[in-house]
């Protein structure tokens, strides 16, 4: 028997009718996309459970935690430092932005040529169907791309509390000083919200928890280098997506448990696809739940995705935070150093990103790269050209795809992806 969460959703102010419709679509999409994959690792049952309870049990946990005085911080970006949130006994959650919902409503506030991700989170907020948003004590907006930066000016009226964090556009000394000041301001804001003080011990503990979570993802990435691939790209992406929702300690345990299983599979030469299956690396814009469109097309067409160079993927998880600092300032500096390494396309120049793509392709034995750009996402779409030329020059076949959350171009995408896989097969 499943628990009746409707009273909780009602208390959170959700529109129950619209929310039911969303869960219905999400459930059947998940079923079609994930549960029918052959040879899934047994450990994926944990993630199936998390997804089936993503608006249920996890929200109840948040509501219960709030009753004990903990604060929930909602965010849209990997630049929001989870270490600081945890140090103040808060909980960081990613907010819903991966599907079209109430697009017509969103377009009353935003131009039509706004990227699907921004329109998505407006739609979820306007239709009152994102329980994470409702459960959040504060939403953090970050000045990354122009679209988000300007959208937050409108979004602030749709949510009770929005804290906007400024970010630099270059990794200069001045840029570093800005992000240092902004992380300090964010910490001070959270101190006030939680009524708690940031301590060296608390921050160290926060760093340790997040480092453990990221290390588990690094371990997963190393195992995905095996041929035959021990886990599908869809399941790999799903774990990167759940990263943003789940309790960090429990999540780390579950990822490590799957890694144990994958190690045994690799030893037995067992995989989800046959040995020699064409291997593809995805690079580009983030894919938030339930944006599984392109990966599903790729793996149905007979290739396996071995990694994601994305915010929901290795761009977001790749560096650890140094934990040797003895003072708050030293630890905050270490956090800033770590976040400033993120190869986000809002930075100019952003040359480390293409180096990272090539490193990933080499480590994961990918034969080709599919660059995924969300329509109207200028930073990644503009960067796609130079990235593609550089990769092709280095002998890495690259396919550039620009799309959104709509389903009407699935046929065209299939053609491109199938032709690209034929090219990889030679």
Q: How far apart are CA 269 and CA 59, in angstroms?
A: 39
Which of 274, 392, 394, 407 touches other proteins by CB under 8 A?
Answer: 392
What minimum distance in Å lies between the beta carbon of 293 and other proteins?
A: 13
Write the burial class of residue 68 (CB in 10 Å: 0-12 exposed, 13-18 middle, 19+ buried).
Answer: exposed
Which of 181, 249, 382, 419 touches other proteins by CB under 8 A?
Answer: 419
Segment (H or E) for 239 = helix 233-242
Ranges within 173-212 binding other proteins (CB under 8 A): none
Contact mark string toward other proteins, 347..386, x via CB under 8 A: ----------------------------------------
416 lies in the binding site for other proteins (CB under 8 A): yes
Q: How far apart are CA 152 and CA 227, in angstroms?
A: 44
CA–chain centroid gap for 293, Å, is: 15
418 lies in the binding site for other proteins (CB under 8 A): yes
HEC per residue, 342-394:
CCCCCCCCCHHHHHHHHHHHHHCCCCEEEEEEECCCHHHHHHHHHHHHHHHHC
What minimum distance in Å lies between the beta carbon of 406 and other proteins?
A: 9
Tell me if 83 sits within 8 A of 321, measured CB to CB. Answer: yes
408 lies in the binding site for other proteins (CB under 8 A): yes
- Phi-psi domain of 199 (left: phi exceeds 0; alpha: psi -120 through 50; beta: other): beta
32 lies in the binding site for other proteins (CB under 8 A): no
Residue linked to tokens 């849209």: 76
411 lies in the binding site for other proteins (CB under 8 A): yes
Region from 67-75, 104-112, 275-283, 400-408 binding other proteins, contact rule CB under 8 A: 400-408
403 lies in the binding site for other proteins (CB under 8 A): yes
Supply 123's token pair: 């739609």
- Closer CB to other proteins, residue 150 or residue 416? 416
412 lies in the binding site for other proteins (CB under 8 A): yes
Using CB under 8 A as the criterion, which residues of the chain lie in contact with other proteins when the complex forms?
Answer: 392, 397, 402-403, 408-409, 411-412, 414-416, 418-419, 422-423, 426
């Amino acid at each position: 028997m499943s628990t009746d969460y409707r009273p909780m959703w009602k208390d959170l102010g959700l529109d129950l009718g619209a929310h039911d419709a969303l869960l219905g679509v999400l459930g059947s999409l998940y079923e079609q996309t994930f549960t029918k994959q052959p040879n899934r690792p047994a450990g994926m049952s944990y993630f199936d459970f998390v997804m089936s309870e993503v608006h249920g049990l996890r929200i109840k946990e948040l509501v219960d935690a709030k009753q004990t005085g903990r604060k929930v911080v909602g965010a849209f970006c990997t630049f929001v430092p989870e270490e600081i949130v945890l140090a103040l006994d808060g909980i960081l959650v990613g907010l819903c932005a991966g599907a079209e919902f109430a697009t017509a409503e969103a377009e009353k506030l935003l131009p039509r040529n706004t990227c699907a991700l921004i329109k998505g989170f407006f739609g979820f907020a306007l239709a009152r169907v994102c329980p994470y948003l409702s459960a959040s004590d504060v939403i953090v907006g970050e000045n990354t791309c122009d679209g988000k930066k300007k959208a937050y000016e409108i979004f602030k009226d749709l949510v009770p509390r929005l804290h906007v964090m400024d970010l630099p556009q270059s990794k200069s000394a001045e840029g570093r000083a800005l992000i240092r000041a902004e992380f300090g301001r964010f910490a001070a804001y959270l101190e006030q919200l939680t009524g708690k003080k940031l301590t060296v011990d608390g921050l160290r503990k926060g760093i340790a928890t997040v480092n453990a979570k990221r290390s588990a993802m690094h371990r997963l990435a190393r195992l995905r280098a095996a041929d035959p691939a021990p886990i599908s790209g869809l399941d790999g992406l799903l774990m990167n997506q759940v990263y943003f929702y789940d309790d960090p300690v429990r999540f780390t345990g579950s990822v490590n448990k799957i890694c144990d299983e994958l190690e045994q599979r690799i030893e037995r030469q067992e995989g989800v696809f046959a040995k020699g299956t064409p291997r593809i690396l995805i690079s580009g814009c983030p894919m938030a739940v339930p944006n599984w469109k392109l990966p599903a097309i790729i793996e149905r067409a007979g290739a396996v995705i071995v990694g994601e160079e994305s915010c929901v993927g290795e761009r977001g998880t790749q560096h650890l935070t140094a934990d040797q600092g003895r003072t708050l300032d030293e630890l905050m500096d270490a956090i800033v150093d770590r976040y400033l390494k993120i190869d986000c396309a809002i930075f100019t120049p952003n040359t480390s990103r293409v180096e990272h793509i090539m490193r990933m392709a080499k480590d994961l034995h990918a034969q080709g790269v599919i660059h995924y750009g969300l329509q109207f996402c200028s930073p990644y779409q503009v960067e796609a050209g130079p990235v593609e030329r550089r990769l092709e020059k280095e002998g890495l076949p690259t396919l550039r795809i620009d799309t959104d959350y709509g389903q009407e171009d699935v046929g065209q995408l299939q053609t491109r992806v199938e032709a690209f896989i034929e090219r990889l097969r030679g």
